[in-house]
Structure 1
Amino acid sequence: MPGSGGGDGRDEHGARVAIDYKAVLRSPGRPHDGIADFLKWLDEHGISFVLLTTDSLDAEAAMRAAGLPAAALHLCRDDIPVQPARGGAAWLLTVADRLKLRANQLVIVGTSELDWRTGINAGVVHVFARWANHVRNAKGMITLSVDQPTDVAELLEHFLLDEPCWAFSHDDDARAFKIRSLLPPNVRFPQAPGRTFELQDVFTRGRTITVGAQDARDILMLRLLSSAYLDGTLPHRSLFCVYPSSSPGQVSQQLAGFLTKAKVMVGSYYREDLLERTGQAPDTSLERWRRSRGEASTADISIGAQARTVRINPKYKGKLKGKTVIVFDDFTTEGKSIEWARTLLTSAKAEQVIALTIGKYGASRHTAYQLRPGTTIDPFQVSYHLAATNFVTTPVTGAAGPGPDDALKATMSHFIAAAQSTE
């Protein structure tokens, strides 16, 4: 699939789908219902596909006998270095190498737990083809699942074909830190004919918004993760966590509920308790709203307030060295929360920190915070001694844009129309 963040000289705009043979043919010469139309759709959108089989066969003849187009590439176990069993990363890494792609330009459509593990081990998004397997998902198998081939086309079209587009992005190589924010805060999306909603309804106010038959939170979060995947900012085997809410022991359930399932999108791990709030802090979203209305406020919403109330859970001591940690938050403005998360995690020897947020206030505005020389912290203890004055601040201008708001509006309208057509 299209993606940026390359630099290895490989094709930046190719789109490839790796499909397990059993998801295409139910038996020799007999394609599954809807497969012919799906493969035609792929061709019309310039997306070639790769066929994967365990055993060697004449794939072109088999597809021709079924009245289907030939795959761009067919791989069996004999084509894979050291001929690994299914489930190994080498299958998809070989596909990427043969087609001169990055792994994050691939999706695997599979029919078994082994296909799922192949995707996880290669850091490639997996889609479970329920139409080809009437047995329930294997125990512990959490994945994107679809009922028919047209659902794969829908997933690709609305989440995995567009170039990543961000309201705000910034790469700070010197600090091993990246920021990606999906949307500006004031965009409104269609909910139903004549009705709209805004991001704050879902993530700040915690309302359940249904768009057609879909949860708006799931649409927005899937777009965030898909964009990060294509962008290269959803690395394989990373750790996911959510920045804590203002109250002790709480995280955004709107984020956490999705990430509990989405952690396996590229073989990552979700650790809800990695960052923990140990004391009450001002609700920065509420304070921001009050101040926008001209209301007086004495609440401390500086990075010092974060430092005095958020730490890394001590049970992760010694477990973060060399890791990539992805910190999710609903909104960011100047970046105090995600900068404190970066400070904690890099102090605990994390190799890279990536912040992913749904919304961004303040367009291109961000502030980099560095501890002043001589200031030390224990990331596993609350830093009661820190105040804003313990940090050196540097204004940062990142890349700003509208984000994928038009594409997401089209996606929302699609789901609304789809629901109406079934009524």
Structure 2
Amino acid sequence: MKKIIIFSTDVYCDLEDLEKKRFRDLLNELINEGHRIIFTSRDIRKKEQLTDINIDNKKIYFKDRDSVKNTIKINEGKSQYFIVVGNREQDLFMAATNKLFFAVPRWCKSYDDKVLKYGIGVVKVESLKKLINVIDNQNSWYYRLDLDKQTTVLSLTSANTLGNHSTEELEMVNGFRKYLKDGEKPMAIILLCHFLASISNNPEFREIKDWAIMPSSGTELNKDMLLFKEKARELMNGKKKEPIFIRHTATFKSHDPKNAAYRLPCDRHFDTIVLNDKYKGKLKGRTVCVFDDYLTNGTTFETARNLLKKEGVKKVFFVSLGKFGKKYIKQDYMLNGNLYNKGYSYEFIDRNDEYGKIDSSAIVEIENLHNIFFE
């Protein structure tokens, strides 16, 4: 999916001469790959500082920010085609308002206060090219299950390492797992960029209003998953920062083999999870996205689905970074009482095995990620 890449003029003007040459080479590569370029500034006189750039109004444009906003508006419904690269709050505002991927070049001589917090930092021109390649590479979700009219389950990658896999795929899957389970950081930025690209490239996500993560087995939120959730919320201009789900009492870890017999039912989660009372009366009719690191049978997501369904949400997207197997087990419960306080009651009604679809092109994208970063 080819992009229109919007650069603030400082992105180029703040480079040293040698790096400017590399940046011009980058522009040529992007244009040859089918992308289009817009430079923008609040001050139209800054165009005079771009004399080395061939602004031909066919492949490379210069527009003031109001004109850029109009360009985005004209392409409304296709705004996932844009990437914003800048160092000013106006760039951040443009990206957040239109739910566009936002990158911040760290070589700029000055930044407005919020941009480093909300954008993805890029240190070198070469790294920016890799980032754009990652965004352009991401078009597929590995796993999809439309559970019902209100619920869609998506997984970004395969978590399986058994069977036939290429060396590149195994290296990436194992690297993601080490990051998510053991906190090893080398794969963090790759996975985060791939994940955010999957959000900005998917038009369905534009209807999401609220963003959440499921609590881990303890009472604290997983800091890495919280980072992913917050970056997605900021990217898509979500307003509510507070967690939707709160675990008031620790429970056992689902991947512990000695607890395998008790892993499936949602009961242990209903006994230990409540909704945040800051959301009381504020979930009805909303579209909500819930993240977790790995999806096996879906017990944690099913807990969330039943809680949100009781509160009258319009639609739920469940997103995991990795999926084990193909089966998802739907579990329906009757909930009664105040879901914002512990002690509400639940009654099991029914369960069904559901099977989502695997898109093998997502595996190719993971292999491409390896090539983008390691070759």
TM-score in same-fold range (> 0.5): yes
Which has the larger displacement, 37-46 or 261-270?
A: 261-270
Taking a change above 3 Å as real, the CA distance of residues 256 and 128 of structure 1, as seen in their structure-2 partners, is same
1:121 aligns with 2:107: no
CA offsets per residue over residues 213-242 of structure 1, 9 Å max, x none? xx3233223312311221234437733322
2:340 matched residue in structure 1: 380
State the 1:407 CA deviation.
Answer: 3.2
- Normalization by structure 1: what TM-score? 0.74
State the 1:39 CA deviation.
Answer: 0.9
Distance across 1 between alignment mates of 2:35 and 2:149: 37
Q: Counterpart of 2:256 in 1: which secondary structure?
A: helix
2:22 matched residue in structure 1: 34
State the 1:54 CA deviation.
Answer: 3.0
CA offsets per residue over residues 368-414 of structure 1, 9 Å max, x none? 33345xx5453313355324xx2333433322134634433443455
State the 1:322 CA deviation.
Answer: 4.0
Q: Determine if contact 2:212/2:243 at 8 Å carries over to the other structure.
A: yes
1:401 matched residue in structure 2: 359
1:197 aligns with 2:197: no
1:309 aligns with 2:272: yes
Number of residue pairs matched?
365
Q: Percent identity?
A: 18
1:227 aligns with 2:198: yes
1:88 matched residue in structure 2: none
Between Structure 1 and Structure 2, the one with more helix by share is 2
Q: Counterpart of 1:282 in 2: which secondary structure?
A: coil
Which 5+ residue runs of structure 2 have no aligned equivalent? none
2:250 matched residue in structure 1: 280
Q: Match of 2:126, as an amino acid? A: T
Distance across 1 between alignment mates of 2:172 and 2:333: 47
Taking a change above 3 Å as real, the CA distance of residues 201 and 392 of structure 1, as seen in their structure-2 partners, is same
Distance across 2 between alignment mates of 1:31 and 1:70: 22
Taking a change above 3 Å as real, the CA distance of residues 165 and 141 of structure 1, as seen in their structure-2 partners, is same
Distance across 2 between alignment mates of 1:198 and 1:145: 21
Distance across 1 between alignment mates of 2:76 and 2:115: 33
1:178 matched residue in structure 2: 152
Taking a change above 3 Å as real, the CA distance of residues 25 and 322 of structure 1, as seen in their structure-2 partners, is farther
- Normalization by structure 2: what TM-score? 0.82
Q: Counterpart of 1:197 in 2: which secondary structure?
A: helix
Q: Counterpart of 2:206 in 1: which secondary structure?
A: coil
Q: Counterpart of 1:134 in 2: which secondary structure?
A: coil
Alignment partner of 1:208 out of 161, 183, 204: 183
Taking a change above 3 Å as real, the CA distance of residues 105 and 240 of structure 1, as seen in their structure-2 partners, is same
| Alpha-carbon RMSD | 3.5
State the 1:341 CA deviation.
Answer: 0.8
Counterpart mapping for 1:3-402 below 5 A: 14-25=2-13, 32-55=20-43, 65-71=51-57, 72=59, 73-76=61-64, 79=67, 91-92=68-69, 94-99=70-75, 102-131=78-107, 133-139=108-114, 141-142=116-117, 143-157=119-133, 159-172=134-147, 174-175=149-150, 177-187=151-161, 197=174, 199-203=176-180, 206-210=181-185, 215-235=186-206, 238-247=209-218, 249-261=219-231, 263-269=233-239, 271=241, 273-287=243-257, 297-299=260-262, 301-363=264-326, 365-371=327-333, 376-382=336-342, 384-387=344-347, 390-402=348-360
Q: Counterpart of 2:113 in 1: which secondary structure?
A: coil
CA offsets per residue over residues 230-260 of structure 1, 9 Å max, x none? 123443773332201122x123233124444
State the 1:156 CA deviation.
Answer: 1.0
Taking a change above 3 Å as real, the CA distance of residues 189 and 56 of structure 1, as seen in their structure-2 partners, is same
Q: Determine if contact 1:331/1:357 at 8 Å carries over to the other structure.
A: yes
State the 1:184 CA deviation.
Answer: 2.0
